[in-house]
Structure 1
Amino acid sequence: MDDILLAGAASDVCLRLPEPVDRGTLRRLVGEAQERLTAAGLRPGGAVALRLPPSLAYVAHLLATWRAGAQAVLLDHRLTDHEVDRALHRLHPQVVVAPVRTGGGALRVFVDVTAGVRPWSDRPAGSPHAVIQLSSGSTGPSKVIGRTAEDLVAEVRRYTQIDGVARPGERIILLPSMVHVLGLVGGLLYGLHAGVELCPPERLSGDAVLAAVAAQDTPATVLGVPFHIGLLASTVPSGPLPQLARMTTGGELVPTAVARAFTDRYGVPLGNMYGMTEVGVIGTDLYGRHRPAIAPAPGIRVRERDGELWVSCPANPYVGLADPTRWADGWLHTRDAGVVDPDTGLVTIRGRLDSQVSVGGLKVDLTEVEATVAGLPGVTAAVVVWDDGISAYVQHDGALTEDTLDRLLAERLAGFKRPRALHLLDQLPRTTTGKLVRSVPALREAVS
């Protein structure tokens, strides 16, 4: 990976945090991080669990892991200790990297981190992948996703062929987390490879994002998720922004009214990317010409089978799983509903076929949330649905309160996964065969 990520002149600036970080400095930091990992017991073929917020320390330890010939297990820093502990016991990394000090405040996009490196096990990595990413259902086998170095390199090179991405000498104003695929590959890895400066704003506010755009004269692409578009659409610029080239969003399709508010305010294209953790970028519409459709990314094939989108994926991306309902014969079954135009090849996504939803651009599996709720003391049955937000309907033993339930969930689920509405019932509705009813109107009626 070094040859496509860390090549270039030592004086070339690759990150602005907001102080510039050149490639020579980054190479030094990567070397120092590799020494710490090795001293903690990391060996080639092992794995490193990174539980760091977006930071220079995260970047250095990620690249050091790969330079050491090891696998990087990416753990969202917002996960609870309970969730992280379950992931570590499943994946058995040799080394864990976590903060011993964090500064800068909760709204900082990149934070000042002092990383602690500690040994965890002496096992080799459980698979040959370069990176392991955990989707929302990370405690189940189908939610542990691996990608090889070759696969990541191929996606980085795919980005270079997409019309509308930032080019060498330009900037990416990076908003999404680098633990997840859009920020990791579309931001960090592509930027390092292509010579595009990564410039996170100092804070996650509309004014701070616009200040990052205006800080230099070179063209800037804002990369984010729908939440960030709403943030900018509601922010009034203090003056002209000739540097702003476009904004590109991943995740669910932006509501038409929000998209119109953004383009009316800034007068630049609002692009859309569609992708999955398993394969990375699948399709794009970076000029906003085909909304709501997207064009398949170079080298990606998309087909529709019985209303479901299938995407070309040469190898099974799921670690420890051979599930033909998710992947078979070189095709990933996305569980997204959609259609492929036979004449243009454009793809229109209609929504999820399964229980996965998007909260602020982050994927949440309602099945995992439901299993967590159902496993709590005092809960006898639970149904979790999407009803303008994650809602949990809970049958209890009579002693449970909403405050206690909320506290228990806060210990076990990251904030973006937790139900926004909790409903305690003496009896959940069931079908005549005894199955729990999942109809939202029926559940609402049971509450009323």
Structure 2
Amino acid sequence: MANTWWGSHLLDHGADDEPWAFSSAPVTRGALREAVAGIAERFRRQGIAEGTSVVLRMKPSFTYLQVLLALWSRGAQVVLVDFRLQPAEYEPLVRLVRPQYQVAAAGTDGPVTGFRQESGFSIEALPDGRPAADGVRLVQFSSGSTGRPKVIGRPPDSVLAELERHAALPGMPGRGEPVLLLNSVMHNMGLVTGVLHALAAGAPLVVPPTLRPAEVVRLMARTEVAAVFGTPVHYALLSRIGDRPELPALRLAVSGGERVPQDTCEQFRAGFGLPVSPVYGLTEFGLIAGDLVGAPPPPCVGPPVPGAEVKVVGEELYLRLDRSPYLYGEHADRFTDGWLRTYDRVAQDPATGALSLLGRADSLAVVGGLKIDLAEVEAALLAHPSVTEAVVVHTGAVEALVGDGGAGLTADQLTAWCRSRLSPVKIPRRFHVTDRLPRNSMGKLLRDPGMLGGAAAPSERHR
């Protein structure tokens, strides 16, 4: 059957009255199964079956998760696209993967209004779509150092192997332990570490309808949360809440996506009485390293988890894979002789094998737990008719140095330009505008973040 690869691990066990998830209201496993079966029947009538390719573009909701599970139960390949992408970002991805169907919610555009219980959606057959390739069931996108997005395809055994790695990691939440999920369900940590592991382990999933920190903490107390999954930004916000209710069940706080600042770790421990435990992974593979018991201080993320084979070559991390995770022949240079070059710079403790993150070896930066390509931001700026030069750097925030040849561009004008072409996380927080950008003796643009103080005249305005 089409759903055998995931059914026994996820949906087919647990009593009907067992809690599955809670946001504004609780949802039982029986209600989840009933909803998935109804949506799957709707897909069957539309012709979605084994090997069909479907792009899914919806705001986060329980309906989104039910649609995803229903598509998998039909044997479909699901292409996940972040609803926050602008048309200039989204449309090239659809042209690249050429899905046969699109499932989208009404009102996909616009800002996030919080996690919803339910959401209506439409099903549209797309022209010139191509079927799923090579048994791949999950397709995601990740920024590429060349400016082209990486199209990552994962077959069922890859997702199931990742769930097994989660189950084998000491300290992971188990049956009956409510898990608060702050990560986006559209990205790997939120989807696999959060949603799918919780479903497989029988851990009730708690997704806050709003990310206002005070309300999140009250929800944690009301639902007796045992574990929190989030990013450093989430833990920094939670640490600011002064008048907190007692959280006697809370035993674990897990962070992924980027390095946790030391002050965030200290503030969270002081307020909540437990450390932030980092984990490390890639969209191409999922969970790679973590230590939920020892909670090593940053930049250490712990040793590789069972099932993850790595090696360090000249401070760069390589990961063993059975096959290239990339579709359509792109990024072949990253995968050679069974090893994936991650472009993550690490140090590995010779005694324990623990990995410490040192940064990137390419133009990628991590912002809010998401990888963005600084070259993509530069390309968007250079498309402006008055921009002659652009350098984008990451200094804890994305900043842009822009040469306009004396055209008099303002930060507000550049911000408006970027908003129509880039999703919000990619838009520079500050613009430094000048007639001409500094270059080295060879005539190449300087990319040293330390030069920002002198790149713009004092009269230049920053966003």
TM-score under structure 1 length normalisation: 0.93
What amino acid maps onto 2:177 in structure 1? Answer: E
- Is 1:279 aligned to 2:285, yes or no? yes
Partners of 1:103 and 1:348 lie apart in 2 by 38
Q: Is the 1:103–1:113 Cα contact (8 Å) retained in structure 2? A: no
Give the secondary structure class of the aligned counterpart of 2:290.
strand
Partners of 1:257 and 1:410 lie apart in 2 by 32
Q: Provide the residue aligned with 1:177 in structure 2.
A: 184
- Is 1:197 aligned to 2:204, yes or no? yes
Partners of 2:229 and 2:175 lie apart in 1 by 16
Q: Provide the residue aligned with 1:421 in structure 2.
A: 430
Q: Provide the residue aligned with 2:85 in structure 1.
A: 79
- Identity, in percent, stands at 38
Q: Is the 1:48–1:97 Cα contact (8 Å) retained in structure 2? A: yes
Alpha-carbon displacement from aligned partner over 1:381-423 (angstroms, at most 9, x marks no partner): 3211113411122233655733332222101101011111123
Q: Is the 2:276–2:295 Cα contact (8 Å) retained in structure 1? A: no
- Post-superposition offset of 1:76: 1.0
Map 1:39-50; keep pairs closer than 5 Å. Answer: 39-50=45-56
- Post-superposition offset of 1:376: 2.9
Alpha-carbon displacement from aligned partner over 1:53-86 (angstroms, at most 9, x marks no partner): 2101110111111111111111112111221111
Q: Provide the residue aligned with 1:362 in structure 2.
A: 370
Give the secondary structure class of the aligned counterpart of 1:5.
coil
Q: Provide the residue aligned with 1:158 in structure 2.
A: 165
Equivalent of 2:137, from 121, 130, 141?
Answer: 130
Q: 1:291 to 1:170 in 2, by over 3 A?
A: same
Partners of 1:92 and 1:105 lie apart in 2 by 26
Give the secondary structure class of the aligned counterpart of 1:364.
strand
Alpha-carbon displacement from aligned partner over 1:167-201 (angstroms, at most 9, x marks no partner): 11111101101111100100111111111111112
Map 1:33-72; keep pairs closer than 5 Å. Answer: 33-72=39-78
Unaligned ranges ≥5, structure 2:
1-5, 458-463
Q: Is the 1:14–1:198 Cα contact (8 Å) retained in structure 2? A: yes
Q: Is the 2:145–2:375 Cα contact (8 Å) retained in structure 1? A: no
Q: Is the 2:150–2:331 Cα contact (8 Å) retained in structure 1? A: no
Q: 1:17 to 1:447 in 2, by over 3 A?
A: same
- Post-superposition offset of 1:314: 2.0
Unaligned ranges ≥5, structure 1:
none
Q: 1:36 to 1:398 in 2, by over 3 A?
A: farther
- Shifted more, 322-331 versus 229-238: the winner is 322-331
Map 1:39-438; keep pairs closer than 5 Å. Answer: 39-101=45-107, 106-110=112-116, 112-121=118-127, 122-126=129-133, 128-137=135-144, 143-217=150-224, 220-292=226-298, 293=300, 294-321=302-329, 323=331, 325-396=333-404, 399=407, 401-402=409-410, 403-438=412-447
Alpha-carbon displacement from aligned partner over 1:217-260 (angstroms, at most 9, x marks no partner): 4x520110001110111112443211212211112221112111
Partners of 1:82 and 1:422 lie apart in 2 by 21
- Post-superposition offset of 1:12: 1.9
Give the secondary structure class of the aligned counterpart of 1:173.
strand
Q: 1:6 to 1:356 in 2, by over 3 A?
A: same
What amino acid maps onto 1:316 in structure 2? Answer: S
- Shifted more, 436-445 versus 49-58: the winner is 436-445
Partners of 1:226 and 1:197 lie apart in 2 by 23
Q: 1:352 to 1:10 in 2, by over 3 A?
A: same
CA RMSD in angstroms comes to: 2.4
- Post-superposition offset of 1:3: 2.1
Q: Is the 1:175–1:200 Cα contact (8 Å) retained in structure 2? A: yes
Q: Is the 2:84–2:111 Cα contact (8 Å) retained in structure 1? A: no
- Shifted more, 324-333 versus 91-100: the winner is 324-333
Q: Provide the residue aligned with 1:3 in structure 2.
A: 8
Give the secondary structure class of the aligned counterpart of 1:393.
strand
Q: Is the 1:79–1:413 Cα contact (8 Å) retained in structure 2? A: yes
- Shifted more, 203-212 versus 129-138: the winner is 129-138
